Amino acid sequence: MPLIPGHEFSGAVETVGPDVSKDWSGKRVGIFPLIPCNKCAPCRSHHPEMCRDYDYIGSRRDGAFAEFVAVPESNLIELPDNVSFEEAAMLEPMAVAVHAMRKGAGEDSSQHEDNPPHEDNPFHEKNSPDEDDASLEKDAKILVFGLGTIGLLLTMFLKERGYSSIFVAGNKEPQKEKAKALGIPDDHYIDSRSQDVISYIKDKGGADVFFECVGRNECVSTGIDCAAPGGKIVLVGNPYTDMTLPRDTYWKILRDQLRIEGTWNSTFLPRNSGKESSDDWSYVKKRLSEGRIRPSDLITQKFPIEELEEGFHIMRDKTDYYCKVIMEADHSMI
């Protein structure tokens, strides 16, 4: 308080400012909520997610739980006719999941021929020094630990991308059902409440890539212990706790030459060039428009905006299982 939250949203452009193309009026759009400074080294190198001085709709300025919300033109992405408002409201978490997936695969999601690296870019090398990093084998053993919204979306995109050996770990029966609906077989689902995740994965040879989607100290340690020699741990979950490592766990990082990769937000490039780019948001938009992913399957509750408080209480008090809660306002989905 008093800031108005809401950063995962879609809607229609009601009106435009004096320096904005009138062509946007009435357009159905998704919104990239991070507003980069466009001046710092990460911004100049097409990494707005690492901006040193960013603004953010819904957490640093008023967001979408309002009658109207002001959005810079460069943060809009026009929706294809066959993409619904509710699907578009999930563009932001989907792009976060894709960004994490690409980190796990060793890709640079913002680098493409239309946007060559700047000379002073410290965040990208023209040629990967590790060819294995650049092309994760499709049969690589992958473990997604934590099946909240991001973990399930990550699993969805990994499946769509063609990875064939995906294991997931959750702690709720509805999570298991969601994972099965995404095509995860029973013997690739690990119930972290009753099964030893580390022993289970070690028996399979260890995880080549471990996605930590919880943000707890013990889960990070689990990831390190689960990793195969030369494996990678991708840290996705926001931290609930301080992070500390026992000495033996640290030794494993050294002896097995593990790679610890952080991931944050997603890449998005303005639509003023008229060319489709390979950033995370375009990646998601393309798959949505082609019907290759179904994020609406993860929506567990829908409320009219007048019942917004009830939806928040479910999430805060955990009175019911939820994955993604959608709030509907008129013809827009927030």
pLDDT at position 109 is 56
Residues 192/173, Cβ–Cβ less than 8 Å: no
Confidence of residue 270 (pLDDT cuts 50, 70, 90): low
From residue 31, alpha-carbon distances to 55, 160, 220, 240 in Å are 14, 24, 32, 27
Q: Which two tokens stand for residue 307?
A: 């019942």
Q: Which two tokens stand for residue 160?
A: 């769509």
Residues 149/298, Cβ–Cβ less than 8 Å: yes
pLDDT at position 184 is 97
Instruction: Say which range, 24-38, 75-89, 172-186, 266-280, has the weakest mean pLDDT.
Output: 266-280
Confidence of residue 331 (pLDDT cuts 50, 70, 90): low
pLDDT at position 46 is 85
Identify the CATH number of the domain defined by range 10-96+267-333.
3.90.180.10
Q: Which two tokens stand for residue 134?
A: 């650049």
- Specify the pTM: 0.90
Say whether pLDDT at 312 is over 80. Answer: yes
**For residues 250 and 233, what is the distance between their CA atoms, to the nearest angstrom?**
13
* Residues near 22 by beta carbon (within 8 Å), at least 6 away in sequence: 16
Residue identified by tokens 């996705």 is 236
**For residues 297 and 79, what is the distance between their CA atoms, to the nearest angstrom?**
19
Mean pLDDT of the chain: 89
Rg (CA), the chain: 20
Domain boundaries, the chain: 10-96+267-333, 136-261
Tell me: the pLDDT tens digits for 64-86? 998 899 999 999 999 999 999 99
Q: Is 55 helix (H, G, I), strand (E, B) or coil?
A: strand
Instruction: Say which range, 21-30, 131-140, 183-192, has the weakest mean pLDDT.
Output: 131-140
Distance, first Cα to last Cα, the chain: 19
- Fold held by 136-261: Rossmann fold (3.40.50)
Confidence of residue 330 (pLDDT cuts 50, 70, 90): low
Say whether pLDDT at 252 is over 70. Answer: yes
Confidence of residue 108 (pLDDT cuts 50, 70, 90): low
Residue identified by tokens 């002073």 is 120
